[in-house]
Amino acid sequence: MSWSGWGDPKQRVPLGEGAILMLREELPGARPALPVDPQDVSLTPPRDLPSALGSFMASTDRAERIRCAAGKSYPDLARIRSGEIPRAPDAVLAPANAAEVTGILEACAREGVAVVPFGGGTSVVGGVDPEAGAHQRVVALDLRRLDHFDLDARSMTARLGPGLLGPQAEAAMGERGFTLGHFPQSFEFATIGGFAATRSAGQASAGYGRFDDLVSAVQMVSPEGTLKTLETPHTAAGPALRELIIGSEGTLGVISDVTVRVRPAPAVKRYEGWIAADFESGYEAVRALAQADALPDVCRLSDRDESRVSLAMSNTKGLAKSLFETYLGIRGRSDGCIVIAGWEGADADVRRRRAASVAILRRHGVVPLGRAPGRAWSHGRFRGPYLRDELMDAGYFIETLETSHTWARYGELYAAVGTAIRDALAAQGSPGIVMCHLSHAYRDGASLYYTFIAPRLEGGEIEQWRQTKSAACDAIVAHGGTITHHHAVGRDHAPYMAAEVGELGVEALRALKSRLDPAGIMNPGKLLGS
């Protein structure tokens, strides 16, 4: 993983000519800004750790400490690119198994060392910030060695180590003919433990279920001992502890084992592009699909701005571009909203389910664009974060955030959050492009995922982010949306937890934390704040 940006440092997804022209025209004034040289990153020396931790492969290597010093949010990257690391872990520990995790947590609780569980480090909400909380020292707990894999083909479940990367888990299942079907944008670099700790949702979660739907049992090592739920398909034995561990974001303990439901790997994956006249008629079509049990496994709807920018970014040129534009014009969809629809499964099943979806799309005036846009989406489905690096190199502020609401209030929330972001950017003298898509639909509502780009305010990057993010979050709260559909809470959303679950809800979670982590060593500052 690149120390200053996303993914494989050898891989780049350069901006095309169309994108560069569009940005120059619509968002003038951005000045390129490359990351500092890695040697120029300033790092405070590590504090000495208790000797009890010596046996757990502690590393105080500079590159390791930098790797675990931040996640991959815009403020994380803006800081690290400028050579600024407010705090790095004093060491990175890599336990070999759950027993070693127990040993580490006991030692850290006794000695007052904060512990930040670290999987892929892909949090975009400050979820792995190495905060020490009430303590002086902090370690990152790198879980990569907890990578066990045990498939029960008869029950179609698999017990997975939390340190398995998405592709590792998929490959192990694929060898036996199964899939987990969980493909968030961070898939290539995120871990099973992270998916569980953050209630991850993937691009095909309409079909396979969100990660929390897939988990049948879970184990968590807390400083006070291990919590373990039974591997049974269902239980009515009281409040669901599984659902307390899922989403706990490392603040209650370390998820050490995740049992998931798996499915036969699909024989066919068919992705297509479609186009709606506008966002409203598009999401009405998606509502109809969801409420008729006819949702494609992948179902995304971009609003006008996102559709327009996607087309500009796609580098379609010359005759192909002109033919495509002519087609859109003839079909009355020149400024339409792109839909990506994908069906996965056995061939006959895909045919039947596609036919059911297509009938509803057509009935709602959504027009086919064929397979090429589907293939293009599939090809680029994990490249968004690489593009962000290019945009930051080019001098832009770029960020994403997400929420969800019921269909009854969906349009209202869509408008309010978009307006809040646009206004906040303009008020700071950096008007931007604000785009949105729907990527997770349910019978009762859907998600809204915003991406916005503006010229960065040089020297004021963090404040520009803070003001824009606050404006968006305030609008979400004011309209009753959730503060996060699948990015989780981390440090950035912690101030909004009281709005989400009420003061008493926060207190209830605090009571739970006090019982499991009385010394307050687990991931300080996240989820419930300081």
Choose which of 485, 491, 524, 525 interacts with a copy of itself (CB under 8 A).
Answer: 485
Nearer to a copy of itself, 371 or 515 (CB): 515
CA atoms of 306 and 207, how far apart (whole Å): 24
Cα–Cα nearest to 280, from 337, 358, 331, 341: 337
Distance of CA 60 to the CA centre of its chain: 29
Which range of residues in 358-366, 417-425, 449-457, 494-502 is near a copy of itself by CB under 8 A? Answer: 494-502
How is 390-424 classified by DSSP, letter by letter? HHHHTTEEEEEEEEEEEGGGHHHHHHHHHHHHHHH
Among 442, 466, 474, 529, binds a copy of itself (CB under 8 A): 442
> Both tokens of residue 144?
């990569």
Nearer to a copy of itself, 369 or 476 (CB): 476
Rounded-to-integer distance, Cα 297 and Cα 271, Å: 10
CA distances (Å), 224 to each of 34, 120, 514, 515, in order?
A: 45, 25, 10, 8
Q: What is the SS3 assignment for 259?
A: strand
Shorter beta-carbon distance to a copy of itself: residue 308 or 493: 493
Q: Considering the complex, what minimum distance in angstroms separates the CB of residue 81 from a copy of itself?
A: 27
d(CA 406, CA 479): 11
Residue that the structure tokens 């019921």 belong to: 406
Q: Is residue 200 part of the contact set for a copy of itself (CB under 8 A)?
A: yes
Two tokens, residue 113: 């060392």
Give the tokens for residue 377: 């989406």
Which run of H or E residues covers position 245?
Answer: helix 242-245
Among the listed ranges 199-207, 326-334, 363-371, 428-436, the one in contact with a copy of itself (CB under 8 A) is: 199-207
Q: Which stretch binds a copy of itself (CB under 8 A): 16-24, 27-35, 86-94, 239-247?
A: 239-247
Contact 317, 18 (CB under 8 A): yes
Q: Is 426 in the site for a copy of itself (CB under 8 A)?
A: no
Nearest to 231 by CA among 336, 154, 328, 144: 154
Q: Is 445 in the site for a copy of itself (CB under 8 A)?
A: yes
Out of 9, 174, 429, 505, the only residue in the binding site for a copy of itself (CB under 8 A) is 505
Task: Concatenate the DSSP letters of all residues of 26-80 into one string.
Answer: HSTT----PPPPGGG-B-PPPPPPPGGGTTS--B--HHHHHHTS--SSHHHHHHH
Q: Rule CB under 8 A: is residue 459 a binding residue for a copy of itself?
A: no
| Distance separating alpha carbons of residues 300 and 276, to the nearest angstrom | 12
Q: Which is nearer to a copy of itself, 288 or 457 (CB)?
A: 288
- List 21, 63, 230, 330, residue binding a copy of itself (CB under 8 A): 230
Going from the C-alpha of 164 to that of each of 152, 161, 387, 440, 460, the distances in angstroms are 17, 6, 25, 25, 38
Q: Is 497 in the site for a copy of itself (CB under 8 A)?
A: yes
To a copy of itself, the closest distance from the beta carbon of 194 in angstroms equals 12
Which residue in 89, 162, 247, 273 binds a copy of itself (CB under 8 A)?
Answer: 247
Residue 482 near residue 403, CB atoms below 8 Å: yes
Q: Does 101 bind a copy of itself (CB under 8 A)?
A: no
Q: How far is the CB of 359 from a copy of itself (least distance, A)?
A: 12
Contact present, 400 and 451 (Cβ < 8 Å): yes
For residue 469, state whether it binds a copy of itself (rule: CB under 8 A).
Answer: no
Q: Closer CB to a copy of itself, residue 391 or residue 446?
A: 446
When the beta carbons of 276 and 441 are compared against a copy of itself, the nearer one is 441
Least gap, CB of 254 to a copy of itself (angstroms) = 14
Choose which of 175, 406, 427, 463 interacts with a copy of itself (CB under 8 A).
406
Separation of alpha carbons 248 and 245, rounded Å: 5
Q: Which is nearer to a copy of itself, 106 or 393 (CB)?
A: 106
Contacts to a copy of itself from residues 135-164, by CB under 8 A: 152, 154-157
Looking at the Cβ atoms of 207 and 342, the one nearer to a copy of itself is 207
Q: Residue 227 corresponds to which tokens in the numbers above?
A: 């919590």
Total residues at interface with a copy of itself (CB under 8 A): 86
412 touches a copy of itself (CB under 8 A): no
- Segment interacting with a copy of itself (CB under 8 A) among 1-9, 164-172, 194-202, 308-316: 194-202
Within 297-336, the residues that bind a copy of itself by CB under 8 A are none
444: contact with a copy of itself by CB under 8 A: yes
507 binds a copy of itself (CB under 8 A): yes
User: Which part of the chain contacts a copy of itself (CB under 8 A), choosing from 23-31, 248-256, 390-398, 419-427?
Assistant: 248-256
